[in-house]
Amino acid sequence: MRWRQAREAAYAAAAPIPPCAVPVAEALGSVLTKPLTALTSLPSFDRSAMDGYAVCGAGPWTIRGRQLAGQPAPSPLTSGQAYEIATGAAVPAGCFAVLPYEYARVAGTSVSGPVSAGEHIRRAGEECRRGEELLAAGTVVSAQVQGLAAAVGHDQLWVRPMPRIGAVITGDEVRTRGLPEDGCVRDAIGPLLPGFVAWSGGTLIETEFAADTEKDLIRALDSSPGELLLVSGSSSVGPADLLRRVLHGLGGTMLVERVDCRPGHPQSLARLGDGRLLVGLPGNPLAAVVAYLTLAVPVCAAMRGLPLPALETVAAPDLAAHPSRTRLVPVQVRDGVARGVAHGGSAMLRGLALADALAVVEPDGEVVLLPLP
C-alpha cells in the first residue's frame, strides 16, 4: 500500500471515542464535545485591580475602613470618602477609582493623590458575560483551557477522552537495563513510546515484554488493555516474526499489510476480533517511529474526533526521490528548507535525535513534513 493510502486508511479505521463528563483537573489533552460557556461573568463583580484606596469624588478622602479580598462589598461610598482596598476585593458602590498605594499620600485618616475616573477597577463582565460561548467544541483541552473552565465555574467538562494505548515489545534479544551481552540489544522503543504517545494525544497505560513464542505473544495481546495496541517487532517475515500468524489465529483482520516506504515497510494495521486496533511497529527504532507517525498518529486523531493532521509542503533540494517508494528522512528545517541529517538508517536514532521533523519524499519528488515531538 502506498504511504499516503496507509495513513488515510488508518484514520478511516478508527471511530471517535464516546464522550463523557470528567473533572476539569482530569481533562488535560482531551477534546471538548460541547462548547465551553461561561457559567458566571468574569469578573462576577466590580473589583480592585490594585492595592490602594477605593475613592469617591474629588480628594482628599476620608478613610472609612479596610476592604479585603473575599469580603462582601461594603456599604456605598459618598463623595470625599475612601476605603483602603486589596487587589481582587469588591469595590463599594459609588467608587470613582482606585488610588494605588505608591501614589497615595496618607495623613492620619485622610488620603490624597492623583487618580483618573475608572482607573484600576475591573468591571463585572469585562472578560466575559454569563452564558457567553468561550471555546468551540473540538478544542483540545490545554492547561490554559482547564484554568479558564474553572474560572467560569465548571467542575466538569464534556470531552472525548484520550485513547488508552497498550504496548508490547517483542524479542528474545531485548534487554531493558545495563549493557547488553553479545547478541542482545537495549530496548530503545519502550523508552521513546511514552513521549510519542502523549504528544499524539494518547495515554500509554501499560508496556509489556513478550518472548518470541506464539504463546507469549498471544498472552500479551489478550491481556493488553486500551482501544489501541502497539506491537514492536515480530512484524516482518523472518523465523521469529509471529505477529501476522498470531493475528490470523485470533480472528484479526489485516487493514494495512505493508507500506511502500523506507524505512518502515513491515508496519501493519489490524483489527482484533474484539474491535481493538493494533499497529505493528518494526523492531528497528527509526522504522518504528515511521510506523507510529504513519499509522498510530492518524488512529489517535480519529479516536479523539479530530481531523487527520495536515502535511506541510517544504523545499528539500538535497533529498533525492526513490522511483517507486516513499522515503522518510530525518531532517532539520532552516528558513523553510529541509536538509537531511546523518545517521538516518532504519536501526538508528542518532539522526532522529538531531532532527526537527521527518521529510516524506514521494516518488514524484513532492516533499512534506511529519512533525516530531
CATH class in words for 22-41+127-159: alpha beta
Cβ(103)–Cβ(111) under 8 Å?
Answer: no
Question: Would you say the CATH fold of 312-371 matches that of 22-41+127-159?
Answer: no
Does domain 312-371 fall under CATH 2.40.340? My reply is yes
CATH class in words for 47-122: mainly beta
Mean per-residue pLDDT of the chain:
93
Does domain 3-16+162-303 fall under CATH 3.40.980.10? My reply is yes
The reported pLDDT for the residue numbered 238 is: 59
Cα–Cα distance for residue pair 142/149, rounded to 1 Å: 11
pTM recorded for the entire structure = 0.88
pLDDT in tens, 314-344: 999 999 999 999 999 999 999 999 999 999 8
The reported pLDDT for the residue numbered 236 is: 61
Q: Is the peptide bond before 363 cis (omega within 30 degrees of 0)?
A: no
Among candidates 232, 218, 229, 220, which has minimal Cα distance to 264? 232
Statement: residue 137 has pLDDT above 70: yes
Domain-wise residue ranges, the chain:
3-16+162-303, 22-41+127-159, 47-122, 312-371
Q: If pLDDT is split at 50, 70 and 90, which confidence band does 175 have?
A: confident
> What is the dihedral angle through the alpha carbons of 71, 77, 80, 86, rounded to the nearest 10 degrees?
20
Q: If pLDDT is split at 50, 70 and 90, which confidence band does 37 have?
A: very high
Statement: residue 157 has pLDDT above 70: yes
Classify 189 as helix, strand or coil. helix
Q: Give the list of residues 6+ apart from residue 172 with CB closer than 8 angstroms, or none.
A: 211, 212, 240
Q: If pLDDT is split at 50, 70 and 90, which confidence band does 224 have?
A: confident
Q: Grid cell 536538509 — which residue?
A: 339
> Which of 64-68, 200-204, 239-243 comes out lowest in average pLDDT?
239-243
Cα–Cα distance for residue pair 87/67, rounded to 1 Å: 10
